[in-house]
Copies of this chain bind each other. A is one copy, B any other.
Amino acid sequence: MTITDTTVTSDTEPPAGGACEDGHGHGPHGYSQQKDQHLKRLRRIEGQIRGLQRMVEEDVYCIDILTQVSASTKALQSFALQLLQEHLRHCVADAALKGGEEIDAKVAEASAAIARLLRT
């Protein structure tokens, strides 16, 4: 299903635009690998959040719960950094190659996303 999605994407969109819409520019195979890594990370984080629910239900000491919250927040930020790096590598670089004003829009958009990550 991953491969189908990706094929469809790359069939229906111009390469650079497509690279930008799905945030990747590697075509089906390389892309589905990154996608699997992202999903693994997110499933691990989902497990950490369920672990937090158990900790609350079992009246675990607040400070130990806070330590687990910090770990989950750090894991979410590492995921965001990975996604951002791929975005800069593919979408922002593609916009630079296209030339014109798109690069300014892409850089402003990425900077706003970085600002949102910093503010949280």
Contact = CB atoms under 8 A, between A and B. Distances in A.
A37 to B, nearest CB: 10
Nearest to A87: B62
Copies of this chain in the oligomer: 4
Contacts of A81: 111, 114-115, 118
A9 B38 CA distance: 39
Contacts of A53: 39, 42-43, 46
A45 B120 CA distance: 15
Contact of A5 (B57, B114, B120): B57
Interface in A45-61: 45-46, 49-50, 52-53, 56-59, 61
A111 B85 contact: yes
Interface in A85-117: 85-89, 91-97, 103-104, 107-111, 113-117
A20 B59 CA distance: 10
A80 to B, nearest CB: 5
Nearest to A59: B22
Contact of A96 (B45, B46, B74, B97): B97
Given A38-B56, A50-B46, A81-B115, A88 B61 contact: no
